[in-house]
Structure 1
Amino acid sequence: MTTREFISATSVDQAVSALSAHAGGAKLLAGATWVMRAPLRGEYLPRAVISISGIAELGEFRIAPDLLSIGACVTHAQLAAALAATGEFGGLTDAARRSANPAIRSVATVGGNLCAAGFAAADLVPALLCLDAKIEYRSVIGTLSMSMEEFLHLRTTLGPGLVARVHVPRGKYRSAHARLPLRKAGDYPVVIVSVKADRHSNGSFHGVRIAVGSVEVTARRWHGLEALVEGRALTPSDIGARAEEMPKEFSGRDGIEAPGWYRVQVLPVLVRRAFEDLCRQESD
């Protein structure tokens, strides 16, 4: 039987020091919804587990007039509840309150969702990607601040450290989150589309952000479609049609829940649904 070490960190500095000392043989533990299923994925459990759920600053959530700041150990359920009264974060609220199932949402954390590089269907990733979120990454070297796009590109190569907080700028915009599970009982979504925009009185969209998740291994922005929508007065159906007419920019991943071609085929439908929701919010 392999002997494993359990470390209960009480500060971020202690956690990152322990990660560094174990030279890649340790994993962080908060909600445990991903790491504890490692054997089911054919992966070994780490030699050392570092619990960060007791670090107070990682559980803090702050809403300032110009910035939303989310601690890495805030759960999906806590995030959804805290954002319920905000106007611009409809997409992020839906991503948090509709992911997985109630039991998972009560323990799964923001940081864990972002750091699970092998989990292509993470709801919070595209939701934060379209909101121009910044990641605060802490290591023994110091604190790094990077965009979500940078973080997703670097997250498997960053040195020993952890996501401490996520910072999201507030503003005059709306956001929406559309997901397509094959069933409703906690399925992982086949396709995720998160959008953000400010819609002017003439119907034109500005500051358009469109993020796509679950279609490929890693979520990413749809920059080409953003450019087609930016500054134009289009209906959600128009935008869905533009998405359908564009050259296929995504290579769908095959999975047990859906083949890659199906993910790409239904993507324009999810784009239309997301913009329908965004426009509907204006009349609520």
Structure 2
Amino acid sequence: MAPSVERSFTAASTIEEAMAARRQGAAVLAGGTWMMRDPRRGVDLPEAVVALHRIPALSKVEIEPDHVVIGAAVTHAVLGRALHEAVGFEGLVAAAENAANPGIRKVATVGGNLCALDFAAADLAPALLACEATVELETFEGPKLIGISDFLKDRHALLAEAIVTRIHLRRDLVASAHIRLPLRKAGDYPVAIVSLAVDKDKRCRIAVGSVEPVARRWTALEQAMAADSASAFDPERAAGLALEHNDFQGRDGKEAEGWYRRQVLAPLVKRGVAALLKTGGLA
């Protein structure tokens, strides 16, 4: 018989309580939709966890004229509803409203989605990359702000001594879109994700998720579209540029092989640009 493990659970009511638990080695529990599946992946559950759902400040979406602040404990469902009428965040709303399935969206959180280290198919990561989000961390030394690209690249090290508390967004977008390709049906992990956002200067930001182990900006395509600004927002032309500037190394996985993930990017870009044009923000 396997030896029993004594586990501890802390429901923090303040960020200070959560950080105290982290100092004692507790893992952070957000919605639990990733951690609770650890045994199925052959990973032991942590012996100590600290939950964040009772910290009021982390469950709010604050919408101001020039910025938005999203608490790390905000669920996908709440995020989608909160930003539904916010111009420029159509892509982020689509990411929140179409990830996984309705049951998961009710409990899975923004912070948990970004902090699941081995989850390459997170919908919110590319959507927030396209928004050029800033991640707020609470560290043992105090609060820290970091751009989302750097956070995603360095999160293994950052999360060893920090908790994600909030996501900050500028309201500088006029349109955005989020296009995902599930393998067969709703609820499947997407084999590829393309998020696009256009700012007030008509600059297009593009991010890709699920193709490589970590979501990232597609800077080669962004630069190509900027150089061809007269026709860059033509869906066919954008797809052609995507084919020419595909610099991704596709990851092999249960859902799809790497070559296929790369191959579908151009059609997803075409769909994404078409979706941007439908928002009215590019008129």
Shorter-chain TM-score range? over 0.9
Q: Structure 2-normalised TM-score? A: 0.94
What's 1:193 paired with?
Answer: 194
Q: Deviations over 1:127-166 (max 9, x none)?
A: 0001010000002211110100110111100142211000
What's 1:33 paired with?
Answer: 33
What's 2:214 paired with?
Answer: 218
What's 1:69 paired with?
Answer: 69
Q: Any conservation in 2 of the 1:175–1:195 contact (CA below 8 Å)?
A: yes
Name the SS for the 2:269 alignment partner. helix
- Find out whether 1:4 has 2:1 as its counterpart: no
Q: Distance in 2 between matches of 1:44 and 1:139?
A: 25
What's 1:244 paired with?
Answer: 243
Q: Any conservation in 1 of the 2:173–2:200 contact (CA below 8 Å)?
A: no
Q: Any conservation in 1 of the 2:14–2:55 contact (CA below 8 Å)?
A: yes
Q: Structure 2 regions of 5+ residues with no counterpart?
A: none
Letter in 1 for 2:206: I
Letter in 2 for 1:237: E
Q: Any conservation in 2 of the 1:13–1:140 contact (CA below 8 Å)?
A: no
Shift of 1:172: 4.4
Q: Deviations over 1:38-95 (max 9, x none)?
A: 1111111111011111111100110000001100000000000111111110000000
Q: Distance in 1 between matches of 2:51 and 2:278?
A: 42
Q: Distance in 1 between matches of 2:124 and 2:131?
A: 11
Q: Distance in 1 between matches of 2:126 and 2:187?
A: 18
Q: 1:254 aligns with which of 252, 255, 269?
A: 252
Q: Distance in 1 between matches of 2:226 and 2:152?
A: 24
Q: Distance in 1 between matches of 2:200 and 2:240?
A: 19
Q: Any conservation in 1 of the 2:203–2:226 contact (CA below 8 Å)?
A: yes
Letter in 2 for 1:154: D
Post-superposition, which runs of at least 4 consecutive aligned residues in structure 1 deviate over 2 A? Answer: none
Q: Distance in 1 between matches of 2:203 and 2:143?
A: 29
Q: Structure 1 regions of 5+ residues with no counterpart?
A: 201-205
* 1:122/1:276 CA distance change after superposition, 3 Å: same
The count of residues paired between Structure 1 and Structure 2 equals: 275
What's 2:154 paired with?
Answer: 154
Mapping of 1:29-178 within 5 angstroms? 29-158=29-158, 159-178=160-179
Q: Any conservation in 2 of the 1:53–1:73 contact (CA below 8 Å)?
A: yes
Q: Distance in 2 between matches of 1:109 and 1:151?
A: 17
Letter in 2 for 1:124: L
Q: Any conservation in 1 of the 2:130–2:195 contact (CA below 8 Å)?
A: yes
Q: Any conservation in 1 of the 2:87–2:173 contact (CA below 8 Å)?
A: no
RMSD, matched Cα = 1.4
Name the SS for the 2:178 alignment partner. strand
Q: Any conservation in 2 of the 1:70–1:167 contact (CA below 8 Å)?
A: yes
Shift of 1:185: 2.6
